[in-house]
């Protein structure tokens, strides 16, 4: 069941509940009219009841069937009326069963009195009429009880399904709220970490009196404006991430013009893919800070994204920097990124680190594209 179906069904249930609260009269009009299934079931019961009575009476089948239809319809109307009446004396199930039993007693009596022209004395004095009455009454009582029991069970099942539907909707809502809160917390953790690293890079240029300081400041202002906007978003596209990363690498290339080269190759078909804000930047920033920056030689950062098969996606960031030491582990940024990927793309999303030859590090992100 999709999310829209759950919401629509729960809204319908809530609407019925609100309507009942707004109109607390004697009758619940939603229950007053028999359903089509109830009508067909009663007609079938009347037919089989007439077949059962046929060997024991002298009347033709159409008369027996007509009497059974009358009694069965009276029992159905009594059943629905008792279910629609708002009362607190007995439970609704007891009231409906009692109503069916009353109809089973009164219905055959009405039919017999109609046959005698309304003469009670003729009915009382006729052994045959009384025998026919008791047979029809017993048949109606047994059949009515069985039909009422089936109706009770079906309604209990429908109620259980409605409660399960409401529970599923509430659980889904809570899970979505928890995921949103989790993503907000992870983004809040990334924001100061990223700002401090970027400002430290600018400080280095200013302190060394580099002629690149002014262009870097100009680029930094434009970059931070875009970065702050993206941090406020709950989701971004891979194209947004590509623009942000490209701006960041332009600034880093100004700072290390002889030591940093980079290339970005993202498949056009993936650029509209939903992607966690600042996620790709986290990988690129780590490649600069922990790979290229500590090294003495020039280095290269390569960024790419490709579709793998029908729905899988592979995104990678590799560098030719100093590589990963034996005791190194994921820092705050990578741990947060791993959690954010699982929150957005599911538990199967993976973040993998591997050594580059002859030196350097590669980070692969693997996940299934959302449908």
DSSP for 225-253 reads: HHHHHHHT-S-EEHHHHHHHHHHHHHHHH
Average pLDDT estimate for 7-11: 46
Residue 187 belongs to some domain of the structure: no
Strands 361-368 and 350-355: antiparallel
Residue 360 belongs to some domain of the structure: yes
- The whole-angstrom separation of Cα 316 and Cα 265 is 10
Element (H, E) at 266: strand 260-266
- Residue 1 binned pLDDT confidence (cut-offs 50, 70, 90): very low
Strands 236-237 and 274-275: antiparallel
Residue 351 has pLDDT above 80, yes or no: yes
* Same domain, residue pair 40 and 159: yes
Residue 361 belongs to some domain of the structure: yes
Tokens 């009915």 identify what position?
A: 123
Q: Which of 172, 200, 219 is the last residue of a domain?
A: 172
Query: What digits encode the pLDDT tens for the residues 245-260?
Result: 888 888 888 778 888 9
Rounded to the nearest 5°, which phi and psi values hold at 233? -85, 145
Residue 141 belongs to some domain of the structure: yes
Residue 6 has pLDDT above 70, yes or no: no
- The whole-angstrom separation of Cα 349 and Cα 367 is 4
* Same domain, residue pair 165 and 214: no
Contact 212, 255 (CB under 8 A): yes
* Same domain, residue pair 142 and 242: no
Tokens 């009841």 identify what position?
A: 49
Residue 200 belongs to some domain of the structure: no
Contact 317, 280 (CB under 8 A): yes
Total structural domains within the chain:
2
- The whole-angstrom separation of Cα 303 and Cα 246 is 10
Q: Choose between 156 and 327: higher pLDDT.
A: 156
Burial 148-170 (b: 16+ CB within 10 A, else e): beebeeeeeeeeeeeeebeeebe
Average pLDDT estimate for 5-19: 46
Predicted confidence at residue 189, as pLDDT, reads 52
Predicted confidence at residue 270, as pLDDT, reads 94
Q: Which residue segment(s) compose the domain that 288 sits in?
A: 210-368
Contact 339, 186 (CB under 8 A): yes
Residue 350 has pLDDT above 80, yes or no: yes
Helix, strand, coil distribution of the chain in percent, nearest 5: 65, 10, 20
Contact 369, 300 (CB under 8 A): no
* Same domain, residue pair 159 and 222: no
* Same domain, residue pair 215 and 309: yes
Residue 198 belongs to some domain of the structure: no
CA-wise closest residue to 155 among 92, 85, 102, 81 = 92
Tallying the residues shown for the chain, one arrives at: 371
Tokens of 51: 């077949």
What letter would DSSP give residue 297? S
* Same domain, residue pair 271 and 344: yes
Predicted confidence at residue 145, as pLDDT, reads 83
Q: Which of 154, 172, 190 is the last residue of a domain?
A: 172
Predicted confidence at residue 24, as pLDDT, reads 60
Residue 20 has pLDDT above 80, yes or no: no
Residue 180 belongs to some domain of the structure: no
Residue 318 has pLDDT above 90, yes or no: yes
CA-wise closest residue to 135 among 111, 116, 114 = 111
Work out the mean pLDDT of the chain and round it to a whole number: 79
Tokens of 259: 């030591």
* Same domain, residue pair 160 and 303: no
Residue 140 belongs to some domain of the structure: yes
* Same domain, residue pair 333 and 216: yes
Predicted confidence at residue 315, as pLDDT, reads 97
Q: Please name every residue paired with 315 in a beta bridge, in sequence order, or none if there are none.
A: 305, 365
Tokens of 19: 């309507």
Q: Choose between 330 and 43: higher pLDDT.
A: 43
* Same domain, residue pair 25 and 163: yes
Predicted confidence at residue 264, as pLDDT, reads 96
* Same domain, residue pair 79 and 129: yes
Structural Rg of the chain based on CA atoms: 39
Q: Which of 123, 157, 172 is the last residue of a domain?
A: 172
Number of Cβ atoms within 10 Å of the Cβ of 136: 25
Q: Choose between 367 and 113: higher pLDDT.
A: 367
- Residue 240 binned pLDDT confidence (cut-offs 50, 70, 90): confident
Q: Choose between 72 and 214: higher pLDDT.
A: 72
Q: Please name every residue paired with 364 in a beta bridge, in sequence order, or none if there are none.
A: 316, 352
Residue 3 has pLDDT above 60, yes or no: no
Query: What digits encode the pLDDT tens for the residues 64-96?
Result: 778 888 888 888 888 888 888 888 888 888 888
* Same domain, residue pair 154 and 288: no
Average pLDDT estimate for 133-161: 83
Burial 23-49 (b: 16+ CB within 10 A, else e): eeeeebeebeebeeebeebbeebbeeb
Whole-Å CA distances, 86 to 11, 38, 73, 82, 221: 24, 21, 22, 8, 70
* Same domain, residue pair 61 and 120: yes
Predicted confidence at residue 5, as pLDDT, reads 47
Query: What digits encode the pLDDT tens for the residues 279-304?
Result: 898 899 889 888 898 887 889 999 99
Predicted confidence at residue 368, as pLDDT, reads 93
Average pLDDT estimate for 150-157: 83
- Residue 17 binned pLDDT confidence (cut-offs 50, 70, 90): very low
How many Cα atoms sit within 13 Å of 330 on the Cβ side?
Answer: 15
Q: Please name every residue paired with 275 in a beta bridge, in sequence order, or none if there are none.
A: 236
Q: Choose between 167 and 268: higher pLDDT.
A: 268
User: What CATH number is associated with residue 289?
Assistant: 3.30.565.10
Tokens 């990223």 identify what position?
A: 194
């Amino acid at each position: 069941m999709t999310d829209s179906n759950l919401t629509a069904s729960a809204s319908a249930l809530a609407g019925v509940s609100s309507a009942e609260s707004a109109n607390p009269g004697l009758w619940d009009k939603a229950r007053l009219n028999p359903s089509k299934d109830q009508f067909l079931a009663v007609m079938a019961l009347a037919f089989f009841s007439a077949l059962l009575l046929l060997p024991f009476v002298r009347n033709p089948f159409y008369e027996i069937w007509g009497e059974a239809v009358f009694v069965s319809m009276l029992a159905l109307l009594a059943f629905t009326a008792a279910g629609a009446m708002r009362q607190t004396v007995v439970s609704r199930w007891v009231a409906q069963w009692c109503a069916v039993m009353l109809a089973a007693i009164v219905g055959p009596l009405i039919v017999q009195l109609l046959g005698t022209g309304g003469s009670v004395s003729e009915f009382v004095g006729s052994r045959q009429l009384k025998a026919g009455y008791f047979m029809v009454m017993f048949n109606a009582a047994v059949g009515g009880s069985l039909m009422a029991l089936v109706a009770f069970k079906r309604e209990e099942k429908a109620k259980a399904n409605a409660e399960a539907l409401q529970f599923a909707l509430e659980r889904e809502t809570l899970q979505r709220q928890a995921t949103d809160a989790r993503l907000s917390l992870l983004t809040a953790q990334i924001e100061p970490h990223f700002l401090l690293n970027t400002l430290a890079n600018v400080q280095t240029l200013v302190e060394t009196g580099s002629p690149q300081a002014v262009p870097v400041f100009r680029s930094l202002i434009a970059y931070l404006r875009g970065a702050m906007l993206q941090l406020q978003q709950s989701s971004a596209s891979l194209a947004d991430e590509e623009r942000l990363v490209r701006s960041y690498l332009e600034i880093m290339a100004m700072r290390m013009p002889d030591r940093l080269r980079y290339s970005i190759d993202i498949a056009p078909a993936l650029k509209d893919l939903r992607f966690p804000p600042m996620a790709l930047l986290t990988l690129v920033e780590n490649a600069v800070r922990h790979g290229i920056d500590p090294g003495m030689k020039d280095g290269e950062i390569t960024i790419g994204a490709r579709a793998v098969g029908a729905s899988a996606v592979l995104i990678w960031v590799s560098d030719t920097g100093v590589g990963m030491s034996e005791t190194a582990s994921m820092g705050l940024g990578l741990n947060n990124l791993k959690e954010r990927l699982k929150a957005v793309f599911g538990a199967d999303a993976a973040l993998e680190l591997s050594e580059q030859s002859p030196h350097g590090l590669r980070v692969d992100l693997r996940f299934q594209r959302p449908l």
